[in-house]
Chains A and B, each alone.
Chain A
Amino acid sequence: MKILLIGMALLASGLVMGDEFTAADLERWQQQYEQVAARGRQLFTDPALGSNKVVCAQCHPNGANTHPETYPKFQKQLGRVAMLWEMINWCIRNPLEGEELAADDPDMIALQAYIHKEREGVPLAPGKH
């Protein structure tokens, strides 16, 4: 009797339900993305990202000319297929004279979230130069 009651309580609480989510969940998850993209915009204009006060947005207003939809692609200067984060590190290292970020560094993820946000609606075109 006790076991049956516990079982019914679990069902009623919804804890055993599988892959279900609500509109509120979707909104919350979108918010998470927006927050990270906003953090990316901050970094994109942050003189402290590199060592010489140059910021990403100086050359890339609204993230333009970054072409996130084309990655992965052959990067002729590297002689191999590369990802967007590798090119971001190239920019941090060279024009910004800064220290590279790890691929899974939250700041690197935020920079990419912002770059992709500015490029919303553009069809994927992997490999395009």
Chain B
Amino acid sequence: MTMKRRNFIRRATTTAIAGVLPVSLIRIAGAQESADFTFAYISDSHIQHIEGNRFVRNFDRGLISAVAETNLMNPKPDFVMFGGDLAQLGTREELDHGFEILSGLNGLPLRGVLGEHDYYLDLGDYWRQLFGEHYYSFDHKGVHFVVLNSILTFDDWTFNRWESAERRMSEMAGLDNPNGSPFMVGEAQRRWLAADLQNISRDTPVVVFSHSPIQKIYKGWNFWTDDADQVQAILAPFDRVNVIYGHVHQIQYNQIGNIAFNSVMATAWPWPYPSSYAKSGSHVPVMTVPMNRADPFSARDATGWQLINVHTGRVDLEYTLYDNSNRTVSWNGASGRPEDTSYQAPALRVPPQNHY
């Protein structure tokens, strides 16, 4: 569990040759072995254009690593999700550059989740050309997947407030910018979601992908979806619901009724936990064991990507963390919630997990 990235690559390469799987990357199959599968999740790459053909190298490297390592997976993940914020300021240059790096995924099916950094320049027009619709659903091996566009906001903010699209984008791009506006799924999409789920049987596992958390964590940084309660109410009747979200650039997990929540890491940079902003109060799901505090001298520390195992309708997240110990947050059937497989009990926690 303490594989560094170098070791990870060496081990993955070795095992590909030997034809044996690295044990940390597979789940021991349960009763429903035939339905088990994995997919890769890469998110929040924030490709940032400087000018001409120059992009911020640091953020390029994070996405390039995730693509390279995903390609080393054996067996291959069934598909790859990109969890939003491919771009920093939503420009064609950034989306094209990021999409070109993603095109290095050797033949793996790729689907996207829309992030606010992809959206607020042209309201997702160019992103749609690359990835497709802003919200949609699909089925895979008995699991119903739903992709939501959770980063919409009040029409007045989007359409009337700003003198230019560039201004609108830059105002929403600042996480702590008081001129921003709360994220929401919105009424039209909630109606679509209810209709989409209408013919799905209650015992079908449901996995929802969103950019922002479909739960209310900290409004000040939009670790938040304003109509989360209403979306949760639509999902509540299903026996097994899993919401996987990006945006927060840190490990979080939570359980609300039948709904398990898991966040994914960013490939670009880590964010502090809201509780470490002294003026915010504490705003992290209590069951979350935090990721290690980032070492600022290691540009890739506290970033990474994840392999997600789906089994018995629940998800395990294998966090591949560059330049740090990997982490696994798995569904615990006994306790009925996601748990860290190494650090969940308070006595097992280590000093780098102390954020303040």
Inside 8 A of A13's CB, which chain B residues have their CB?
Answer: none
> Shortest CB–CB separation between residue A84 and chain B, in angstroms?
13
Query: Is B56's CB under 8 angstroms from A54's CB?
Result: yes
Query: Is B50's CB under 8 angstroms from A62's CB?
Result: no
Say whether A119 faces chain B, with CB atoms less than 8 Å apart: yes
Say whether B271 faces chain A, with CB atoms less than 8 Å apart: yes
Say whether B221 faces chain A, with CB atoms less than 8 Å apart: yes
Say whether A53 faces chain B, with CB atoms less than 8 Å apart: yes
Inside 8 A of A87's CB, which chain B residues have their CB?
Answer: 296
Query: Is B176's CB under 8 angstroms from A95's CB?
Result: no
Query: Is A120's CB under 8 angstroms from B279's CB?
Result: yes
Say whether A81 faces chain B, with CB atoms less than 8 Å apart: no
Say whether B78 faces chain A, with CB atoms less than 8 Å apart: no
**CB-CB contacts of A57-76 with B at 8 A, as 1s and 0s?**
11111101101000000000
With contacts A77-B295, A90-B296, A90-B297 taken as known, whether A62 is within 8 angstroms of B280 at the C-beta atoms is yes
Query: Is B175's CB under 8 angstroms from A64's CB?
Result: no
Query: Is B50's CB under 8 angstroms from A53's CB?
Result: yes
Query: Is A59's CB under 8 angstroms from B269's CB?
Result: yes
Q: How far is the CA of A18 from the CA of B269 in the complex (A)?
A: 53
Inside 8 A of B278's CB, which chain A residues have their CB?
Answer: 118-122
Query: Is A52's CB under 8 angstroms from B48's CB?
Result: yes
Q: How many residues of A contact B (CB 8 A)?
A: 24
A25-58 at interface with B (beta carbon < 8 Å): 45, 52-54, 57-58
Say whether A91 faces chain B, with CB atoms less than 8 Å apart: yes
Inside 8 A of B294's CB, which chain A residues have their CB?
Answer: 65
B249-280 at interface with A (beta carbon < 8 Å): 269-272, 276-280
> Shortest CB–CB separation between residue B323 and chain A, in angstroms?
13
**CB-CB contacts of B130-172 with A at 8 A, as 1s and 0s?**
0000000000000000000000000000000000000000000
Say whether B106 faces chain A, with CB atoms less than 8 Å apart: no
Query: Is A57's CB under 8 angstroms from B58's CB?
Result: no
Inside 8 A of A121's CB, which chain B residues have their CB?
Answer: 278-279
- Of all chain A residues, the one with the shortest Cβ separation from B354 is A129
From B48, B220, B271, B355, A53 is in contact (CB under 8 Å) with B48
Query: Is A45's CB under 8 angstroms from B174's CB?
Result: yes
Query: Is A64's CB under 8 angstroms from B48's CB?
Result: no
Query: Is B296's CB under 8 angstroms from A91's CB?
Result: yes
Say whether B299 faces chain A, with CB atoms less than 8 Å apart: yes
> Shortest CB–CB separation between residue A6 and chain B, in angstroms?
54
With contacts A53-B48, A61-B272 taken as known, whether A94 is within 8 angstroms of B175 at the C-beta atoms is no
Query: Is B269's CB under 8 angstroms from A58's CB?
Result: yes
Query: Is B277's CB under 8 angstroms from A118's CB?
Result: yes
- Of all chain A residues, the one with the shortest Cβ separation from B270 is A59
Q: Which residues of A contact B (CB under 8 A)?
A: 45, 52-54, 57-62, 64-65, 67, 77, 87, 90-91, 94-95, 118-122
Closest 5 A-B residue pairs measured CB to CB? A61-B176, A64-B272, A65-B272, A77-B297, A64-B277
Can you spell out 22 A-B residue pairs with CB atoms less than 8 angstroms apart? A52-B48, A52-B50, A52-B54, A52-B56, A53-B49, A54-B58, A57-B175, A57-B176, A59-B269, A59-B270, A60-B272, A61-B175, A61-B221, A62-B176, A67-B356, A94-B299, A95-B269, A95-B299, A119-B278, A121-B278, A121-B279, A122-B278
